[in-house]
Copies of this chain bind each other. A is one copy, B any other.
Amino acid sequence: MADSKYRAAGVDIDAAADALEQVKPAIRATHTSSVLADVGSFGGLFALDGLDKDSVLVASMDGVGTKVKLAADMGRWRGIGFDIVNHCVNDILVQNARPLFFMDYVASSALDPQQVAEVILGVAEACRSCGCALLGGETAEMPGVYVEGAFDVVGAIVGSVERGAMLPKKDAMQSGDVLFGLPSSGPHTNGYSLIRRVISGKDLRQTIEGGVTLGDALLAPHRSYTQQIDALQRAGVSLLGLSHITGGGLVDNIPRVLPDGLRAVVTPGSWRRPEVFRLLVEWASMTDAEAYRVFNMGIGMVLIVPAGAEAQVAAVLPDAVRIGVLAPRTVNGASVTFE
């Protein structure tokens, strides 16, 4: 059927269909035995009979911010797929949930099937690597809404956790418990509006510490921490809390898992601040106080464990760094202090 009028208005139904056709095998490869319907049904079907009756669903929805703009400017799309999945996976991991299924939404003023396919392939690969079914998704052409050449990616994740295993365990936390940090791969998905401003005019091909280019360092995909937390739990380490360091940084995210009477005392010198953050802070002429609220500053996930578990964490996770301790908090006192 001719749909020339609709195409003239900026919407190409067939382009979206082309993109879907290319990525179907990768999507199907994520389908666990719980997935009932094939790609293209109205809604994705996920059977519950593999779950414990006592399970709780944990759901989250998010985008990856203006990292999409940098990716579009650099013509590199697949990493954004990893970004959106791993960001969402980490967001439910802090409640000790593991992913069941994921859905994605990719929109632009005009869809380039090849670019959409790259994003969705990244999504599918990231889903597969953590046993998460890519259950559905949508692409949208929105002339007049998106800036030409720009796109947005949104993800929704649903995972599950047994009710008794939910984190954080605020009641069990006490002064002297230890904070470990797991390294981030870069700014992950936060601070990119500022990053894009401060790198304006800089050479993205310049090599920084570790021999990577500035562009590569900035587009490094958001890291997933599922495997490391799995390893800790297999080793029998009692986790009290996890905090995913996203927008708001260590300052805003650690307090989300703390009880009222405790604060986190973080020692900024305890971990190596990656070069990319040193450069960004310098170029932006930011104070450290600002930087620790905008960027993760090299720590992507914070673990809270009893002091007695310290040696075991270090043994199971060689790259975990002891970054601080819990201490008593006075009424109206700060819930995170840097000392």
A11 proximity list for chain B (CB < 8 A): 193-194
A150 proximity list for chain B (CB < 8 A): 144-146
**Separation in Å of the A256 CB from the closest CB of chain B?**
7
A63 proximity list for chain B (CB < 8 A): 105, 107, 138, 140, 142
Contact with B along A148-175 (1 / 0, CB 8 A): 0011101010111001001000000000
**Separation in Å of the A219 CB from the closest CB of chain B?**
16
Q: Is A43 an interface residue (CB 8 A)?
A: yes
Q: How far is the CA of A293 from the CA of B13 in the complex (A)?
A: 11
Contact with B along A31-70 (1 / 0, CB 8 A): 0000010000111111111010111111111110110110
5 contacts between A and B (CB under 8 A): A6-B191, A11-B194, A43-B60, A63-B107, A145-B152
Stretch at the interface among A220-228, A283-291, A315-323: A283-291
**Separation in Å of the A131 CB from the closest CB of chain B?**
16
Selected contact of A5 from candidates B2, B248, B284, CB within 8 Å: B284
Q: Size class of A's contact patch?
A: 35 or more
Contact with B along A63-104 (1 / 0, CB 8 A): 101101100000000000000000000011011010001011
Q: Are B13 and A248 in contact (CB under 8 A)?
A: yes
What are the 8 tightest A-B residue pairs by CB atom distance, in nearest-first order? A156-B156, A61-B103, A9-B194, A43-B58, A43-B60, A46-B57, A9-B193, A43-B92
Given A60-B136, A289-B2, A42-B92 contact (CB < 8 Å): yes
A145 proximity list for chain B (CB < 8 A): 66, 68-69, 146-147, 150-152
Q: Are A42 and B94 in contact (CB under 8 A)?
A: yes
Q: Is A313 an interface residue (CB 8 A)?
A: no
Selected contact of A142 from candidates B49, B69, B142, CB within 8 Å: B69
Q: Is A209 an interface residue (CB 8 A)?
A: no
**Separation in Å of the A17 CB from the closest CB of chain B?**
10
